[in-house]
Amino acid sequence: MTETTSAPDIAAGRLSKDALDQNFCDLHPLLDPHEAQVEADRCYFCYDAPCMNACPTGIDIPQFIRQISTGNPTGSAKTIFEQNILGGMCARVCPTETLCEQACVRNDAEGKPVKIGELQRYATDTYMHRGLPQPFSRAAATGKKIAVVGAGPAGLSCAHRLAAHGHDVVVYEAREKPGGLNEFGIAAYKATEDFAQREINWLMDIGGIELRLGQMLGRDITVDGLRQEYDAVFIGIGLPAASKLSIPGADLPGVESAIDFIARLRQSKDLSGLPIGQDVVVIGGGMTAVDAAVQSKLLGARTVSLVYRRGREQMAASRYEQDLAASHGVHLVFNARPAEIRGDNAAEAIVFEYTRQEGSNLVPTGETLEIAADQVFVAIGQWMDAETEDLELDGTTLARFDGNKSSVSNVWVGGDCAHGGEDLTVTAVEDGKIAAESIHRALSA
């Protein structure tokens, strides 16, 4: 993780602890039973369930909502967990506004979908708050042993499903904590009270899963070595390395990756000690960029600008996330790409070139914009940065075939490191589930 920069206008303690606690409280507090009942009653329980078709993990949404409406939230949670064992986190971080809720027929009737994400959280949180045991038990031991590389959503989903089938699983994780994107890569206000780790501990209760931390692929373990030791291998290492700017001034103090900033914030025990600039600029158009921009404002930055090189409609972050940023005072700038970061000994300003779209190409207009910036967070993409030996690539990510098989026998892949990964917890969970079922079929043949 990148160390905190020492630029002169980057300082801690811009807000009081009470103000920070308020700023970083739960974005969507848990529905109470009455609120959940009222919201569940809005569901039409459509026979063709367009919401279910829009869910990457295929959760039976009408069924779990019906169970809430009949006063059975624990049964509802089991329905969710059958398809998505990380349903609690997905209820917090999934862009439901572009998935299940966008497909909800209530949009046509009222212009307002059923709050599927909040109902999912109500069910899963109710189950976990009641201290109920893991709803799945292990099948008879198969004697097979599988290595899972990466303890993010894809790896954890794969490990849990394999353990349920009776296989023994060893999960290797490069970081000091498991969780991947859920632990290190999302805004703190989306998953409060250490939820990511509590969910992992709950998931691990199924048994049959061993976790080995500080084990990096290419440094401590290799694909070939794992293939020799285990009956199957799943690779779900995500995209841990951040892409860098290649413009003058990109190496000045005050410039760092947004993912490093978010990870540092998520692991901070005292946000009043976390330095932030007076004038912050975030470069990028995805969820990471929005999370970095909003949290900069919540930490007490005077101005925060989020600058994206294309138009609003091309942003990977949903319109809901864009509006969330704007509601917190983040200034959104579109059609501008960075040209130079200026400063004598640290970042002081960024010059952007305005752009226009010509087909699939961006063309500079000749106009420029300069924004004051003592701290710059770069969120322009991530890459794999791992030694994957003979595994075939499809572009810059791992090629995958039916059942998420890789190009090498007995090796499966999934999540963001696999071709077509979408930088979403829910799709990573589905990748892990698909791979686990494919592995189980192969080992049972």
Q: Read off the pLDDT band of 109 (50, 70, 90).
A: confident
Residue with tokens 């917890």: 425
pLDDT tens string 80-93: 999 999 999 999 99
pLDDT at residue 2 above 70? no
pLDDT tens string 345-366: 999 999 999 999 998 899 999 9
What is the pTM assigned to this prediction?
0.95
Strand order through the sheet with 331-333:
255-257, 375-378, 279-283, 303-307, 331-333
pLDDT value at position 7? 58
Q: What is the percent of the chain where pLDDT is above 90?
A: 95
pLDDT value at position 1? 39
Domains and CATH numbers, the chain: 33-129 (1.10.1060.10), 145-240+384-444 (3.50.50.60), 242-378 (3.50.50.60)
Q: Read off the pLDDT band of 133 (50, 70, 90).
A: confident
Cβ atoms within 10 Å of 377's Cβ, excluding its own:
30
Mean of the per-residue pLDDT values for the chain?
Answer: 96
pLDDT at residue 65 above 50? yes
Range in 8-12, 252-256, 367-371 the model is least confident about: 8-12
pLDDT tens string 32-57: 999 999 999 999 999 999 999 999 99
For range 75-80, the mean pLDDT: 98
pLDDT at residue 309 above 90? yes
pLDDT at residue 6 above 90? no
| CB-based contact 104:11 (threshold 8 Å) | no
pLDDT tens string 253-272: 999 999 999 999 999 999 99
pLDDT value at position 429? 98
For range 164-181, the mean pLDDT: 97
pLDDT value at position 9? 86
pLDDT value at position 5? 45
Q: Read off the pLDDT band of 8 (50, 70, 90).
A: low
pLDDT value at position 119? 98
pLDDT value at position 115? 98
